[in-house]
Amino acid sequence: MPRIAYVNGAYERTSEAAVSIEDRGYQFADAVYEVWSVFDGRLADLSGHLDRLERSLSELQIAMPMPRTSLLVVLNEVIRRNRIREGLVYLQISRGVAPRDHVFPVDTLPSIVITAKPVDRAAAEIKAAAGIKAITAPDIRWGRCDIKTVGLLPNVLAKQQAKAKGATEVIFVDHDGYITEGGSTNVYIVTKEGEIRTRSLEANILAGVTRLNLLPLIRESGITLSEGAFTLEEALAATEVFVTAATSLVMPIVAINDTLIGDGKPGPIACALREVYIERARASAGV
């Protein structure tokens, strides 16, 4: 079955769908994006992602190309046309198409592209049960990582470096030696005292929607949670390290730079949080 993409008002075969060579997303990374997980054919953490999309657009002074309700219809139609039950939806909105000039074009409509792909949940659970390895890299990104732009070159290069070293994720470390976030995830540690720590949103990181919806679940579970800075050394000494994102959900990190975390196996807290997060995300999907 051919994959179907939504491109500026039309549903097209993904293999044939195209945007202009003068799209500002292509020329300047002048675009934002969102990724949703799909459970049972419904968008997980729906409103959190829509809220962040609106914020990203507003920070870049790009207009929402359509009202939220209409966007929701299109997102669901892409899921339906691709017959996705378990999967991921990708949405990208750029400032639009205009002759190349750094300053904003006048009266240009934003471009919008939406694609979807299936996810093999059984394979994802096998991966999570083994955990993944990470490497570290200096956080050389710009100062507005709170905006979810498609300008991801530092992330791309660092994740490629991770792959070359047999790891799956990169953990960024800032100038002061503190961990910020992952190449495409937020990062958490479980300290020897049993407290979960993750960087606060005041740091130059993305406000992950998975993070947003996981933090209350951590608090409900009775585990002490603190949003604050932690070093690589603290992560290496932690009993558990895990990351979150719409793509990986809650994923245990079992080694950083070849140093095993704990006993080198996914920890009980990360595994339990993964289960409870997926349960909640599935139950509340579409809302």
Beta bridge partners of 116: 89
**Which CB, 49 or 133, lies closer to ligand PDD?**
49
8 A C-beta contact, residue 137 and residue 179: no
Per-residue binding string, ligand PDD, 123-162, x by CB under 6 A, is: ----------------------------------------
Residue 103, judged by CB atoms within 10 A of its CB (0-12, 13-18, 19+), counts as: exposed
**Which of 274, 253, 131 is closest to 181 using CA atoms?**
253
**Which CB, 215 or 236, lies closer to ligand PDD?**
215
**Which CB, 24 or 159, lies closer to ligand PDD?**
159
- Scanning 63-107, the segments in alpha helix (DSSP H) are 68-81
**Which CB, 48 or 110, lies closer to ligand PDD?**
48
Check binding of 209 to ligand PDD (CB under 6 A): yes
Enumerate residues 6+ apart whose C-beta is below 8 A from 131: 251, 252, 253, 254, 265, 266
Check binding of 181 to ligand PDD (CB under 6 A): yes
Check binding of 203 to ligand PDD (CB under 6 A): no
Which residues does the annotation mark as catalytic?
148
For ligand PDD, which residue of 25, 65, 208, 266 counts as binding (CB under 6 A)? 208
Integer Cα distance of 171 and 263 in angstroms: 20
Check binding of 185 to ligand PDD (CB under 6 A): yes
At its nearest, how many Å lie between ligand PDD and the CB of residue 61? Answer: 22
Integer Cα distance of 50 and 58 in angstroms: 12
Check binding of 198 to ligand PDD (CB under 6 A): no
At its nearest, how many Å lie between ligand PDD and the CB of residue 55? Answer: 12
Check binding of 23 to ligand PDD (CB under 6 A): no
Taking CB under 6 A as the criterion, which residues in 258-287 touch ligand PDD?
Answer: none
When computed from its CA atoms, the radius of gyration of the chain, rounded to whole angstroms, is 19
Per-residue binding string, ligand PDD, 216-255, x by CB under 6 A, is: ----------------------------xxxx--------
Q: Which two tokens stand for residue 32?
A: 């934002």
**Which CB, 7 or 171, lies closer to ligand PDD?**
171
Size of the site for ligand PDD (CB under 6 A): 14
Check binding of 206 to ligand PDD (CB under 6 A): yes
Check binding of 211 to ligand PDD (CB under 6 A): yes
User: Contact positions toward ligand PDD, by CB under 6 A?
Assistant: 35, 181, 184-186, 206, 208-211, 244-247
